[in-house]
Amino acid sequence: MAVKPEYRLSTVLKMRERKKEAAEQFLAECLKALRVEQDRLRDMENELERMIAKRNTKMREYSEKAMRGEMVAQAVTSSNVYIERLKELEESQKDAIEGQKSVIVQKEEAVRGARKDLVDATQDLKALEKHKEKWEDEVKREMQVKQDEAMDEIAQTIFLKNH
């Protein structure tokens, strides 16, 4: 039986397989980075909620003390300054959250790009795999034809020898 020839585009096929694997790895890294940034955003939002709750608690506490007459003018002023400082910190946290949201948008764009690259790499690989399948079918068909011709020739030789 004849030796099956080597697929002439096997190097290209291996390159496309590696390209697809690299695209899968890059997508995984992008998704991981996106999750990290989303977790960071969630933590920042939780911190903001905690800050607001702390400010509200302090405002209530100071209001109750003022109503009971337990605060002097100096304490009222310093408590107002403290409440304003807490509001400033909240605003700073809100700005940080907005910045984090833009980071997440960038990471989402990176994920979309990585997905597109993976789809392209997969399509390229599948196209070449389909080409290889057709080539293998053609090689099998050619080998079968040659084998059939050889068998016919052997049969004809035997027939002619016997007659």
Q: Tens of pLDDT along 119-161?
A: 999 999 999 999 999 999 999 999 999 999 999 999 999 988 8
Tokens 């027939």 map to which residue?
159
Find the length of the chain: 163
- Give the mean pLDDT of the chain: 94
Reduce the DSSP state of residue 163 to 3 states and report it: coil
| Integer angstrom CA distances of residue 28 from 19, 33, 36, 108, 142 | 14, 9, 12, 13, 44
Position 3 pLDDT exceeds 80: no
Point out the least confidently predicted range of 49-58, 71-80, 89-98, 120-129.
Answer: 71-80
Among 111, 130, 127, which Cα is nearest to 23's?
A: 111
pLDDT at 120: 97
Distance CA 15, CA 27 (A): 18
Cβ contacts of 94 within 8 Å, gap of 6 or more:
48
Are 5 and 135 within 8 A, CB to CB?
Answer: no
Distance CA 66, CA 57 (A): 14
What is the reported pTM? 0.75
* Residue 2 pLDDT grade (very low, low, confident, very high; cuts 50, 70, 90): low
Point out the least confidently predicted range of 4-13, 48-57, 95-104.
Answer: 4-13
Supply the Cα-derived Rg of the chain in whole angstroms.
37
Are 48 and 90 within 8 A, CB to CB?
Answer: yes
User: What percentage of the chain reaches a pLDDT higher than 70?
Assistant: 99
In the chain, the domains with their CATH numbers are 10-133 (1.10.287.1700)
Instruction: Name the residue type at position 4.
Output: K
Position 115 pLDDT exceeds 60: yes
Position 86 pLDDT exceeds 80: yes
- In angstroms, the first-to-last Cα distance of the chain is 28
